[in-house]
Structure formats: C-alpha cells, structure tokens
Amino acid sequence: MIQIKNREGKVVLEGLDSDFSYVDLEGVDLQGAELSKLNLRGAYLEGAELCGVFCDGVNFSDADLSGSDLRGAEFHDNTNLTGADLSGSDLRGADLSCANLSTADLRGVDFRGATIFSCNLSFANLIGVNLIGSNLTGSNLTGANLYKSDLRCANLTGANLTGANLFEVDLRGADLTGVTGANLTGAKCNEEI
C-alpha cells in the first residue's frame, strides 16, 4: 500500500502500487509532498497544488498539469515530463535541472528565477513564457517554439537553440556565451552570438 501525504500529513493519494497513470487528480493538494518512483503518466492534475513538491523518478509524461501551482518544486534528473501540459502553470523558483520536458506544452508558464540547466526542452511549446533571470545553462531547446517569450537576463550559456523559433523573443541582457544554432532574426537582443 502506497500513501502520499501533503505537508500537513493528510493522506491525499493512496494505492496498492506506484501506478497512478490516467487517474483524475484535479485540484489535489500535494504541497510539500515527496513523490518518488511514481507513474503519473497521463494523470489529470489540472489546478493541482504542488508548491514545494519534491519529485524523484516520477513519470509525468502526457499528464495534464495545466494551471498548477508548482512554485519551488524540485524535479530531479530522472523526472519525465515529456509531452506534459503545464500551460499557465506557476513554476517560479522551481528546479527542473536535467528534467525531460521535450514536446511539453509550456505556453504562458512563469519560470522567473527557475533553475532549468541541462534540461531537455526540445520541441517544447514555450510561447509567451516568462524566463526572466532563469538559468538555462546547457539546456537543449532544439526546435522549441519561444515566440514572444521573455528571456531578459537569462543564462543561456552553452544552450542548443538549433531550429528554435526566436521571433519576437526578448533576449536583452541574456548571457548567450557558447550558444549553438541560434537564428536571432526578429529577436530583441543587445549582442550577437
């Protein structure tokens, strides 16, 4: 029997094993919970309270986390968010280091102050995303759509931007040292690569 408790100690998720794939968990309160080795593939977590959650080995692939509060959440390198819908979520101050967010829907997400280094964001939808001051060092943004996103003062050192849509992206003050494959046509920036 597996029990997941929120920071108040209340059991909010219970099952015979770690498979919660395609379960409806809309609006669930998992604030401060420690999630380890869970399968939440395709789970419906719209509007979930996941502030300060710690994830290790969690499979969120194709899950709906849209509109969720993920401030300060920690998603470690074996966390899979491939194809997940996080549109409109709040990820301020979150740690997504080495997480896999390829093909994820991240439209309108607030990533201010987030740590996203060595993250796989290939082919992710990042339209209108707030990445002001975020650390994207070494991240893979191949084919990502960053149209009208704000990356002012972001650290993109060593990031791969091959085929990424940077049209109307604000890169003023961003550290572009060692960036590869960037086509800055139509981007707002104060230096060339």
Show pLDDT as tens, one digit a residue, over the chain (193 residues): 466 766 677 776 676 578 889 999 999 888 988 888 899 999 999 999 999 999 999 999 999 999 999 999 999 868 999 999 999 999 999 999 989 999 999 999 999 989 999 999 999 999 999 999 999 999 999 999 999 999 999 999 999 999 999 999 999 999 999 999 999 999 998 754 4
- Residue 46, pLDDT score: 95
Q: What residues have CB less than 8 Å from 79, skipping those under 6 apart?
A: 55, 56, 57, 58, 60, 96, 99, 100
- Give dist(CA 27, CA 188) in Å, integer: 38
User: Is the pTM higher than 0.85?
Assistant: yes
- Tokens representing 18 are 């770690």
Is the CB of residue 82 less than 8 Å from the CB of residue 102? yes
Is the CB of residue 75 less than 8 Å from the CB of residue 59? no
Cα–Cα separations (whole angstroms), residue 136 to 8, 28, 48, 130: 33, 29, 25, 13
- Give dist(CA 84, CA 101) in Å, integer: 7
